[in-house]
Structure 1
Amino acid sequence: MRRVLALLLVALAALTALPAVAKPDAPLRVLYLDQSVGWKHAPVARPEGGGLAPSETAIIAIGQQSGAFTAEVTQDAREITPERLETIDVLVFYTTGALPLSPEAWSVVQQRVAAGKLGFVGVHSATDTGWPYDGAGETYTQFINGHFAGHPWTQGTPIRIETLDPSLPLVGMWPVSLDYAEEIYQHSDFDPARVRVLQTLDFAGTPLKRPYAVPIAWARQIGQGRLFFTNLGHTPSTWDDPRFRRQIVEAVKWTAIRTRGRATPDPQRQFLWQLKALLAYEPVEGRDDKAIIGRLLKMDPAWQTATARRIADLRTVYPKKPDSDRAPFDAAYKAVLADVLARGGAK
């Protein structure tokens, strides 16, 4: 009897010494805003007879199927109040135009993001959004770090995407190099020193070229909080792509600080892609672009920053229409190309 009792005590002690089983994280609370004050995209268009838009149905299903989040949807930014913001973990915007978001609400959005209490995810036309704001913090354009400046790559245009951080859950579902078809925005008011670019257009495999880099996705650290933006999402078929749907899940989790991943700005890597775009615009047989770029990456950082800006500024003078005056662009393009080739030791 004593031996049985002793064995029971040992077993009880072993059970009490076991670590407690960790409870799974509760699903995150997402508020999805897909209001169109400007152009209305097909994924956010609700049926005339009533019901949800395709992307609204999709984001609810994505949350349910993944178990990562629950989603509420609205097409009225006035529903985003300081009180409502206390009940959600992540804001997702697929929006256009001047949203009727109050200055008080926008101030609270920024405060909660900076405190690590609210994540922010922007999809496609979230950068074709903005409204006057002179309160505390940043304007919306400064916050998301870019504003729509045209889309030469319209719906269905073949593109090649390069994934720059394939080990990160935010973009790890995509191949390192991917041929795709989408509408892609280029941006003004983009500051490379504020974000980490995670995906970019690769003009070596994109037929419609430009002599400046075009980011596809980026991440930003804001105080203790996080922001993620993806250029994808215009084309309805993109919302059906399991990789895009997985990226939505990972973006929600990452911005809610549930997963790892750095948002350290990468201006030199962005400079590399500015150089690649510039040299791919008019390729020259026999020119060793790899060697040229290698030399330029060792140049003085101040020159790199200035040259990256000069290349990016080519967007502002690129002819907007086939019959537009090309002289300003040609002059600027030839000047920066000549400087790059001379300093890169081109023969």
Structure 2
Amino acid sequence: MKQHVQRAITGLCAVGVTLGLGIAAAPANAADDEYHVLVVGETLGFRHSHIDDTTRAIIELGQEHGFGVDVWDPPQGSSPGQPALTLASSPFTTAADLSKYATIIFASPVDATNNLDPNRPRLLNDTELAAFQGYIRGGGGYVGLHAATDSMHTVPWYSELTGGSARFRNHPAQQTATMRVESPGHPSTTMLPAEWVRFDEWYNFTANPREDVHVLITLDESTYNPGNGAMGADHPLAWCQNFEGGRSWYEGAGHTDASWTDPLFLSHVLGGIEWTAGKVTGGGDCVTFGEVDGILTDLAGESKKNRKLAGDVTAYLETAEAAADAGDHDGAIHVLKQAKGKAHGIQDAVLVAKIADLIEWQEALAA
């Protein structure tokens, strides 16, 4: 895999011109493409106007950066969909069928399940959901954009995939706010300023996902009026995680049509696509302390020796996490290096690699 480097998004300012020209999606069997992605815009509830713009912007990104794009966005009720671009039938048939896609992008596919009525039709029915779960568990990628958290509210697994069970709650009026980059070493954030001032629709969520995800960007609520769903001093907006064998990346911004002609925003989204597709690495690859704790728990029961070593490594991790939470990233790095040395005794390559990711993450924060 290649390390992510910032690349100019050339030609994307012209998307606003080409949007009306009926760009054809590059089919997922296009021989010249390095990999393929699926954009899901199917809407059973409120239809976001940006979906068409998002789809065409991603097609442009694919043309410039070597990936093919399929679209699933059929007309549904009052939603016009994108009949000129959509596949003829649902791609969510089996996990094997979905495996042709390096990542699947949910572009605000709202399904009106936010009232938690289990009888409401979901974006994915039981068969389609099983295929999607199998795809993720088989190493697939997921990109959630904006209202991707306002879908399948009655499926807890999906809310865990999107991030820490954080579902869309509400939003204030569109306004300018400051996004603060918390994890600057990730391939989707390396190009961003530390303080990113943008006009958008800012989501409040039903829960803070921080305990379960790697937070990339937070919202500074002192820079705008968050309304009656304010989350306070810690308001994650973009995050990522390694989830059940797959990779998940979410960005809560992107409601405005203008987002999808903004080269900086598109570079950010491209980083998320490429990371979930497994094409770039960096910044600790969305590792969390909780993820490493889970690996240790699984390894601890294998032998008496492993239980002792796992206990020692756990103690180091707890100390390192406390230092990181306090902003002492150099201190966290020092302790994590001790943890990595001890972890070699357990002889598990995944554990050692994940602790190395923790170190890389903290090094980016300390820089």
Q: Shorter-chain-normalised TM-score: which range?
A: 0.5 to 0.7
Deviations 1:115-135 (A, max 9, x none): 32x1100000000101545xx
Match status 1:109 vs 2:121: no
Among 72, 81, 92, which residue is 2:93 paired with? Answer: 81
Gaps of 5+ in 1: 1-24, 45-52, 268-293, 299-347
SS at match of 1:126: helix
Match status 1:43 vs 2:65: no
TM-score (norm 2): 0.58
Among 242, 266, 276, which residue is 1:245 paired with? Answer: 266
Counterpart residue type for residue 217 of structure 1: A
Match status 1:217 vs 2:238: yes
Match status 1:236 vs 2:249: no
| Contact 1:158–1:179 (Cα < 8 Å) also in 2 | yes
Q: If you compute each CA radius of gyration, which structure gives the higher value, 1 or 2?
A: 1
In structure 1, C-alpha distance between the alignment counterparts of 2:48 and 2:247, rounded to whole Å = 26
| Contact 1:174–1:243 (Cα < 8 Å) also in 2 | yes
| Contact 1:170–1:250 (Cα < 8 Å) also in 2 | yes
Show the counterpart of 2:19: none
Tell me the CA shift for residue 190 of structure 1.
4.2
In structure 2, C-alpha distance between the alignment counterparts of 1:208 and 1:86, rounded to whole Å = 39
Q: Give the number of aligned pairs.
A: 232
State percent identity of aligned pairs: 26
Counterpart residue type for residue 91 of structure 2: E
Show the counterpart of 2:70: 72
In structure 1, C-alpha distance between the alignment counterparts of 2:124 and 2:106, rounded to whole Å = 12
Match status 1:96 vs 2:123: no
Shift in CA distance, 74/115, structure 1 to aligned 2, threshold 3 Å: closer
In structure 2, C-alpha distance between the alignment counterparts of 1:208 and 1:185, rounded to whole Å = 8
Match status 1:128 vs 2:150: yes
Show the counterpart of 1:255: 276
RMSD of equivalent CA atoms: 2.7
Deviations 1:57-78 (A, max 9, x none): 21111111222x1111121494
SS at match of 2:177: strand
SS at match of 1:263: coil
| Contact 2:221–2:235 (Cα < 8 Å) also in 1 | no
In structure 2, C-alpha distance between the alignment counterparts of 1:235 and 1:191, rounded to whole Å = 24
In structure 2, C-alpha distance between the alignment counterparts of 1:198 and 1:100, rounded to whole Å = 27
SS at match of 2:223: coil
Gaps of 5+ in 2: 1-31, 75-88, 114-121, 291-321, 327-367
Shift in CA distance, 38/190, structure 1 to aligned 2, threshold 3 Å: farther
Match status 1:264 vs 2:287: yes
TM-score (norm 1): 0.61
SS at match of 2:135: helix
Which shifted more, 206-215 or 196-205? 206-215
Show the counterpart of 2:59: 60
In structure 2, C-alpha distance between the alignment counterparts of 1:105 and 1:208, rounded to whole Å = 35
Which shifted more, 119-128 or 206-215? 206-215
Among 222, 247, 253, which residue is 1:226 paired with? Answer: 247
| Contact 1:216–1:232 (Cα < 8 Å) also in 2 | yes
Shift in CA distance, 247/132, structure 1 to aligned 2, threshold 3 Å: same
SS at match of 1:221: strand
Deviations 1:20-50 (A, max 9, x none): xxxxx95221110012211111112xxxxxx
In structure 2, C-alpha distance between the alignment counterparts of 1:181 and 1:206, rounded to whole Å = 10
Counterpart residue type for residue 104 of structure 1: T
Deviations 1:106-165 (A, max 9, x none): 22322322332x1100000000101545xxxx521222122110012x33x010010011
In structure 2, C-alpha distance between the alignment counterparts of 1:131 and 1:150, rounded to whole Å = 14
Show the counterpart of 2:159: 141
Among 192, 211, 221, which residue is 1:174 paired with? Answer: 192
| Contact 1:78–1:102 (Cα < 8 Å) also in 2 | no
In structure 2, C-alpha distance between the alignment counterparts of 1:206 and 1:266, rounded to whole Å = 31
Show the counterpart of 1:159: 177
| Contact 1:196–1:266 (Cα < 8 Å) also in 2 | no
Shift in CA distance, 171/160, structure 1 to aligned 2, threshold 3 Å: same
In structure 2, C-alpha distance between the alignment counterparts of 1:115 and 1:171, rounded to whole Å = 26
Show the counterpart of 1:333: none
Counterpart residue type for residue 110 of structure 2: T
